[in-house]
Structure 1
Amino acid sequence: MSPALISEAKRKILNLYHDDGYLLAEVTEEITPGSADNMKNLTLHIKEGKKVRIKDIEFKNNEQFSASRLRRIMKETKKRNLWLLKIGEFDRKKFQEDKQLLVDFYNKEGYRDFEIISDSIHYSDDNKSIYLTLELYEGPRYKYRNIIFTGNNLFTTEQLHRVLGINSGDYYNRQEQEMAIYDRINGLYMDRGYLYFNIVPQEIPVGEDELDLLLNITENHQVSVGRINIVGNDRTHENVIRRELKIFPGDIFSREALIRSQREIFIMNYFSDVVPDIVPYSEDEVDVEITVKEKSSDRANLSFSISQTYGLIGGGGLEFNNFRGRGQQLRVSYQQGTNYSIYGTRTNAYKSASISFTDPWIFDSPNLVGFSIFYTERGYSSSYYYYPYDLTQRGASLRWGRRFRWPDNYFRGTWIFSGSKKEYHNLNETYLEQVLLGRDKTTNISLTQIISRDSRDAPEFPTRGSVLSWSTTLAGWFLGGTEHFVKNIFNLDFYTPTFWKLVLYNSVEVGLIQKIRDDSIIPPDERFIMGGAGMVYGTPLRGYDDNAISPVPLSATGSTYSYWGGETMFKYTLEYRVPISENPTIYGLLFAEAGNTWMNLKTTDPFNLRRSAGFGVRFYMPALGMIGVDLGYGFDDIDPEGYSGHGIPEGWKTHFIFGMPF
């Protein structure tokens, strides 16, 4: 037992306490005789003390940025806050990380030579708080003078300058420089097969505040792809994965094609992780190994919501999103709701059943085929903004789709041929004549074209990319039937990453429906209605009751008709999404929405919108799907003319969703 050994043990214990913020911890040793002459007992007595808090953070020689600005850069090392108990605790490890954040900040602003000369800790008189002092050297703010490439044969210097994106006269930015070199320039070569490409940057200061950037390139030779191995697909057939690949054996290696292949496999939502790896095989050839981790994509789906119209709506179904491991979708669902109307004596009812099957790659070709069969009953509601009749609808549809190569290979087209019969019951004569032109039975035969583009980077919590969809439905005309109209719906969703892992989500939806014959009708169930969570039908708008937003026309006598439905629709949604868990996917959100429906194109006013805001949470649970709850505040009355709420805001509304995405 040597003094050096005891001292080292005490030092390690103190470092452990100091790293956790117990800077006043003390360790003393006590040596007592052992059980034998050549043995001694060592006892280490620890006095932990209290965790010290940061009273203030001071900076020396900071001329370019204020102390308050620099304190904001430090993420974890903060001054004590009387209201937030955790704020102000000192953690040595996090302090080191925050010092690196200061270095990165100055380097990003052009201060290449910045360094923290020293840091010191001073205790308050009562030893309960500490003062941190950082002495800085900012140095000059550099600009690029010359940017020089050497060793480049495949691309001209002018081409490399355009890709680099840094010009003479720009302020030095280390973060941007590294991204330009190792992402843009490196990617340019690796996308063309130069896997062993190498670039060495050299910064040469010139004068007091300029530098030359010399980029030494070694291109080496092109590499081709040998074998592509799929690992970890215990359930999914290998061809389901291979048909999504954008890189193939014999191709010149392309990093872009490999990353795109990873995205295409991941967006199917059959796997929780997709990891590509490059395995050198020979000097001119590499193998690609793609490791996937299967996750549950089939669901016994229980859905539940509360609707003012239909009360408690519940149901269930089976969703086989990777049916038999072949990438096919088989869905069977049933929903039913019942409620006693507070506005009358009729009992509302809702019943829906459907079965659908889709094969997105029939015979392993980029062609989609599918079919669906459906049956729906919607019961009477006496409230003026809900359907004032009973509706029974039954029908079927056939679907065919194709992936496009132009304008790019994110686009696809889908065509749906459908037919259905509708029967209206328990409606008054006025509504029958004005809305349905005296018909209590109609036939819908329609052809729908959907052009879509999906470039999201993930299926459940996208952080970048967009989803575009333009749906056009032609009903009747040469197809036959008693309903003759054209319906267009355009939707654009886009995702933007912000700081940390927060995501900004924007969505715009526009709809227009017009009849194509004077003697035809636009059925009320095809018109646009809005409100609620859209659990049953209609366009969601949180903060309002289900299907509560619709134009209310006047009769010839000046009285109001019952529910009518609009021919035009507009809705805008803004969400700020905060990730909580990656597996399973859980995120919170803040939202603001605005939307409305109008009687026709002439009366459309995009500045007359029903507005709402609120917050919510989403859970993606294995075998259950998406579970969500939103609390929204409606700022407007659904009927500003005074037919219902007399100008009073709708106020807070709670929307529950189980098993269906919002």
Structure 2
Amino acid sequence: MLKHSLLLILTVFLFLPLQSWAQIQIGGDDVKIDFANPQEYEIGGLTVSGIQHLDANALKAISGLRVGDRINVPGDEISDAINQLWKQGILSDIKIVATNIQGNLIFLDLQLTERPRLTKFSFKGVSKTEADNLRDNISLVTGKIITDNLKQVTKAKIVDFFIEKGYLNAEVSIEEKDDEKMVNGKWFVITVDKKNKIKINDIIVHGNTEFEEKKLLKSMKGTKEKKFYRLFSTSKFLESEYTVDKKSLITKYNTLGFRDAHIVKDSIYAFDDKTINIEITVDEGDKYYFRNITWVGNTKYSSDQLSTILNIKRGEVYNESRLESALYMNPTGRDVTSLYMDDGYLFFQITPVEILVEGDSIDIEMRLLEGKQARVNKVTVVGNTKTSDKVIMREIRTQPGQLFSRADIIRTQRELAQLNLFNPEAMGVNPTPNPQDGTVDIEYVVEERPSDQVELSGGYGANQLVGTLGLTFSNFSTRKMFTEGGSAWNPLPSGDGQLLSLRAQSNGRFFTSYNLSFTEPWLGGKKPHSFTFSTYRSRQNQNGREKDDPLLSEIVIFGSSVGIGFRLKKPDDFFSVYGQIGYQLYKLQNFNNTFLFSDGTANNLSLTGTLQRNSIDAPLYPTRGSQFSMSFQTTLPWSQWFDGKTDYAELEPEDRYKWIEYHKWKFNSKWFMNLSSPKAERKFVLSARAEFGFLGLFNQDIGQSPFERFYVGGDGLSGFSLDGREIIALRGYENQSLTPTNSNGSRIGGTVYNKYTLELRYPFSTNPTATIYGLTFLEGGNSWLDFNDYTPFNIKRSAGFGVRIFLPMFGLLGLDYGYGYDDILNNANANKGQVHFSIGQSF
């Protein structure tokens, strides 16, 4: 047995020329090994040295060497082991050393040096925001083994990051520095030289004879030339956008009959150090037209019926996009596939085949496979972690046993979105057909989102600053309030889709107001009959005196209402009707502001009926659909029914208005139209609105009610109001500046108003946790004291722009700038540009 270590560096063997002898040192003696005659050894032991973080057993396994294996020294087994270890990319140096030889037993040690590990990294040449975004983008983590590949991938990701921002010539370097606090640790200093942001100077199109270059370039939405008038579109060059836009350019040709159009070549070259030019050469090809369209395989519907749905006439320009839209899944539902699928034909298939191209004409044969009608088997819901199953299931239109209907699925998704409890972007439907028995299982996928809201705001009314705190619970559950053990209070019982709202306003001792409202959308749980109860109490102390002070000046208002709503089936089930009875009591003591009398009481008992239709596709950012509502609110004609003798013209105001009487009519309509492609992720939407309100009287001797009038102009925030007035927002003008005044110049409210609004909206984010969209608007409206003076188009006009942000905890927040085009009598500054802040409304 050898008493000293035998050091045999086997890796050297791989690189030495074949020679008869090599020298190895054993103690002080020289031993000659015959490399021309490899010897076979059995591995008697295998150890690993030099590692700090890696697993020794794993490294042994990777090497492929095992104790008991027989190997040749020198031989392929050693070189194979080195190669296997090196391929892992985690080692910077590898030696396989013989520590001892006993007869035919050889003892090996894997002497390894780990690659350094990353301990931290920093950036130079970028802003803090860019550095934060880069950290998320490059996915560097401490403890990662540093390899050449790691550095190259990191550089590439950083370069791509800045290319997407228009810095096409960005350069990145990575410097490694030793970390004194960690053995074999290094940190990166990543230096970025962004250079100039590259924009597009000019886009030149060659080969276009049918269309002007300007018309073609409009189809390239993300690749635009640098022009001074482009305020809202970028001219930076993005490779990803350019690739999409080249396809869009060809699609533009295809929609106009040039189905063979293609890009022959394109080139990008520097114009100067800040801009580039793009040249695109197209081959337009010939223009084609539809000729004969025939139907094969249809038994359910006649060829004439299908041709009517298709709505493509002989001689029309060939347009593949239009053809596909008429055959498959048109968003409006007017297509051939929807016609079949809405009648249960889940397995329906249609294939358009060009059977003849002759000259500039194309004949198409529509080949149908109708299949059998499918019925719904099981309906399930997944993803609702908070909302009860019954809340979702009662909105689902696809019921077991019914014929499958695509329209019912789309309507179900719309109804679930209207609940405002789920993320509309994450909603999904997974139909699982069962062709054997002609049924289909439908699984609806939802994702809960925060729906409760907190309102924290300040307003100004009656020459006082008023603070507001409001809490709205959109998914409340009274059923779970009394759950045994209180397990449902986390922090509040929820999941049944009920609405509970609590609101308080105050400015200290001078004004307080408390509101509570509750809505059960499905009273009894069987039908969509809603029940609503609300109550409030407010008190304004005008001079700050105590309650028992005879000079106290105050008004106390108590109000309560109960309403019930029904969803109708005719004319369609987008209609609903709502009825409400409400009561307000006004108690005044030495209160000489706003009202026509300072002492006494007034009672307002009214009935309200509302007919409305709502078909919008989403509550936060509607892209299509409409909302209409007509309401009629009335008191009883107390003076005529119960007292036909009193001369009300001679009564004092406190007696004349002891029981308030009026009738009030309102109409409100909204339309939403998508202006973008159905496939676009972010859609331009045009919104048009019209409003009208009228307040009538029963008794000419009493005159118009001083309550329930319309106050028009400004941001629509009420601060607080004491007389049931309606605050109508109209941007571009001061608050209530379009409201009629009396001879003293005090605003007394209008008895009739109308308003028109046109908005163009664009979403910056449709994420339900932060929905953000910008808008521009044209608006006009006015109010009148007497209906005889009402002129529908004698309006005060304005225009402007704004932004809306929806945060789940705070609701809809808005900021607008509007400029009024028309002067206001006796108020020269009312229309000179106004900034408006809004909460919980969209104007």
Length-normalised TM-score, structure 1: 0.83
Instruction: Answer yes or no: is 1:630 the counterpart of 2:816.
Output: yes
Q: 1:58 aligns with which of 197, 204, 207?
A: 204
SS at 2:218's partner residue?
helix
- Could you say if the C-alpha distance between residues 580 and 310 of structure 1 is closer, same or farther in structure 2, counting changes exceeding 3 Å? farther
SS at 2:328's partner residue?
helix
Instruction: Answer yes or no: is 1:575 the counterpart of 2:759.
Output: yes
Preserved CA contact (<8 Å) 2:196 2:273: no
Q: 1:77 aligns with which of 199, 216, 223?
A: 223
Instruction: Answer yes or no: is 1:490 the counterpart of 2:643.
Output: no
Instruction: Answer yes or no: is 1:295 the counterpart of 2:472.
Output: no
After the TM superposition, which of the residue ranges 71-80 and 185-194 deviates more from structure 2? 71-80
Instruction: Answer yes or no: is 1:420 the counterpart of 2:584.
Output: yes
User: Structure 2: how far apart are the matches of 1:471 and 1:237?
Assistant: 33
- Could you say if the C-alpha distance between residues 22 and 354 of structure 1 is closer, same or farther in structure 2, counting changes exceeding 3 Å? closer
User: Structure 2: how far apart are the matches of 1:211 and 1:489?
Assistant: 55
- Could you say if the C-alpha distance between residues 148 and 358 of structure 1 is closer, same or farther in structure 2, counting changes exceeding 3 Å? same
CA RMSD of aligned residues (A): 3.6
Counterpart in the other structure of 1:276: 429
- Could you say if the C-alpha distance between residues 209 and 470 of structure 1 is closer, same or farther in structure 2, counting changes exceeding 3 Å? same
Instruction: Answer yes or no: is 1:408 the counterpart of 2:568.
Output: no
Preserved CA contact (<8 Å) 1:305 1:655: no
After the TM superposition, which of the residue ranges 231-240 and 65-74 deviates more from structure 2? 65-74
User: Structure 2: how far apart are the matches of 1:22 and 1:637?
Assistant: 49
User: Structure 2: how far apart are the matches of 1:444 and 1:80?
Assistant: 63
1:127 CA displacement: 8.8
Preserved CA contact (<8 Å) 1:305 1:656: no
User: Structure 2: how far apart are the matches of 1:454 and 1:636?
Assistant: 34
Residues 116-515 of structure 1 aligned to structure 2 (within 5 Å): 116-121=263-268, 131-183=277-329, 184-273=335-424, 274-283=427-436, 284-307=438-461, 309-324=462-477, 325-337=495-507, 351-364=512-525, 365-377=527-539, 391-424=555-588, 426=590, 440-477=600-637, 482-499=659-676, 501-515=683-697
Relative CO higher for 1 or 2, CA cutoff 8 Å, sep ≥ 6?
Answer: 1
Counterpart in the other structure of 1:606: 792
1:361 CA displacement: 0.2
**Matched residue count:** 605
SS at 2:444's partner residue?
strand
**Residues 548-576 of structure 1: CA deviation (Å, up to 9, x unaligned):** 322224xxxxx446332211110112222
1:175 CA displacement: 1.3
- Could you say if the C-alpha distance between residues 258 and 532 of structure 1 is closer, same or farther in structure 2, counting changes exceeding 3 Å? same
User: Structure 1: how far apart are the matches of 2:815 and 2:356?
Assistant: 58
- Could you say if the C-alpha distance between residues 63 and 426 of structure 1 is closer, same or farther in structure 2, counting changes exceeding 3 Å? farther
User: Structure 2: how far apart are the matches of 1:659 and 1:129?
Assistant: 45
1:204 CA displacement: 4.1
Preserved CA contact (<8 Å) 2:661 2:705: no
Counterpart in the other structure of 1:564: 748
Which letter maps to 1:57?
A: I
Preserved CA contact (<8 Å) 1:626 1:658: yes
1:659 CA displacement: 5.2
1:490 CA displacement: 0.3
Preserved CA contact (<8 Å) 2:293 2:364: yes
Instruction: Answer yes or no: is 1:543 the counterpart of 2:543.
Output: no
Residues 586-601 of structure 1 aligned to structure 2 (within 5 Å): 586-601=772-787
User: Structure 1: how far apart are the matches of 2:621 and 2:565?
Assistant: 26
Counterpart in the other structure of 1:115: 262
Preserved CA contact (<8 Å) 1:193 1:253: yes
Preserved CA contact (<8 Å) 1:118 1:134: yes
- Could you say if the C-alpha distance between residues 87 and 503 of structure 1 is closer, same or farther in structure 2, counting changes exceeding 3 Å? closer
**Residues 186-218 of structure 1: CA deviation (Å, up to 9, x unaligned):** 111111111111111112454322111211111
**Residues 321-358 of structure 1: CA deviation (Å, up to 9, x unaligned):** 110211111111112358xxxxxxxx9x6543211111
SS at 2:789's partner residue?
coil
- Could you say if the C-alpha distance between residues 51 and 607 of structure 1 is closer, same or farther in structure 2, counting changes exceeding 3 Å? closer
SS at 2:380's partner residue?
strand
SS at 1:97's partner residue?
helix
**Structure 2: gaps (5+ residues):** 1-82, 84-151, 172-192, 330-334, 478-494, 544-552, 643-657, 677-681, 719-725
**Residues 370-407 of structure 1: CA deviation (Å, up to 9, x unaligned):** 211112346779xxxxxxx9753212111111000011
User: Structure 1: how far apart are the matches of 2:227 and 2:752?
Assistant: 53
1:119 CA displacement: 2.7
User: Structure 2: how far apart are the matches of 1:428 and 1:263?
Assistant: 51
Percent sequence identity over aligned pairs: 36
Counterpart in the other structure of 1:530: 712
**Residues 170-199 of structure 1: CA deviation (Å, up to 9, x unaligned):** 211121111001121111111111111111
Which letter maps to 1:301?
A: E
User: Structure 1: how far apart are the matches of 2:748 and 2:197?
Assistant: 67
- Could you say if the C-alpha distance between residues 425 and 98 of structure 1 is closer, same or farther in structure 2, counting changes exceeding 3 Å? same
1:486 CA displacement: 1.1
SS at 1:73's partner residue?
coil
**Structure 1: gaps (5+ residues):** 2-9, 27-46, 339-346, 382-388, 554-558
Preserved CA contact (<8 Å) 1:191 1:254: yes
Preserved CA contact (<8 Å) 2:737 2:830: no
Which letter maps to 1:493?
A: K
Counterpart in the other structure of 1:385: none
Preserved CA contact (<8 Å) 1:616 1:628: yes
1:484 CA displacement: 2.0
Which letter maps to 1:336?
A: S
1:469 CA displacement: 0.9
Preserved CA contact (<8 Å) 1:115 1:136: yes
- Could you say if the C-alpha distance between residues 451 and 659 of structure 1 is closer, same or farther in structure 2, counting changes exceeding 3 Å? closer
After the TM superposition, which of the residue ranges 600-609 and 286-295 deviates more from structure 2? 600-609
User: Structure 2: how far apart are the matches of 1:592 and 1:49?
Assistant: 42
